[in-house]
Amino acid sequence: MNGKLLLQAIVKYVSGVILMAVLLFVPAGTWQWKQAWILMGVLFVPMLAVGIVMFFFAPGLLARRLNMNEREDEQKTVILFSGLMFTAAFVSAGICFRYNILQLPLPVSYIAAAVFLCGYFLFAFVLKQNEYLSRSVEVQEGQKVIDTGLYGIVRHPMYSATLLLFLSMPLILGSVISFIIMLGYLPLIQKRMDNEEKVLKEGLQGYTEYCTKVRYRIIPYLW
């Protein structure tokens, strides 16, 4: 058993739970916020389950997913602005709940939670199909082009999943303003994909041909 990897995973998981709780409940000024608890549940329970599965059956993949060391300057910029966007979205959702500003009805939160879980299922399926997935943009030793399964439909199914996940989060929280802020993810993901494909075309044999074969990036026939 890899004790170092286990410790790293636990620290990042617990840190994520604490950070999310602070960003949501401190601005809200109360723990009595049902939508926030729904988000915490659908986010961290599946995350724990997926983490446990990867630790025992795909530790290499887990290690790559925990690696946040970007080499590309463009990706560092994307990560910085993504962090600012998430912070603004969650804090604004808490403030809007506290002062009852543009709040969506509770059924919207339930529907959005279902969409979020669908996104998480897609996320897990992509992890199963691509053993080279990493949080950082890089070409790994021995990496090959994956062009089957979901990768035969769109070039970046992982981003298809994150699109569902990230845009459903503010709806789970019932915040219109938070949703508007999270729309900033669209240009950020575009910038990340542009740089990622540039790196892969330069360093991964067959990727240019793959891009010609599979035209769409994250949404079939649209994007």
* Full domain range(s) for residue 48: 3-213
Q: Domain containing 46 — which CATH number?
A: 1.20.120.1630
Helix (H) or strand (E) holding 26: helix 3-28
Q: What is the pLDDT along the chain (223 residues), one digit of tens a residue?
A: 577 888 888 898 999 999 999 999 999 999 999 999 999 999 999 889 888 888 887 787 777 777 666 666 677 788 888 899 999 999 999 999 999 999 999 999 999 999 999 999 998 888 777 766 655 555 555 678 888 888 889 999 999 999 999 999 999 999 999 999 999 999 999 988 888 888 888 888 888 888 889 899 999 888 8
pTM (2 d.p.): 0.87
Quote the CA–CA distance of 179 and 35 in Å, as a whole number: 14
Q: What is the DSSP letter of 152?
A: G
Q: Is residue 220 part of a domain?
A: no
Q: Is residue 219 part of a domain?
A: no
Q: Is residue 85 part of a domain?
A: yes
Quote the CA–CA distance of 97 and 182 in Å, as a whole number: 17
Q: Is residue 223 part of a domain?
A: no
Q: Is residue 72 part of a domain?
A: yes
Give how many domains the chain has, as a whole number. 1
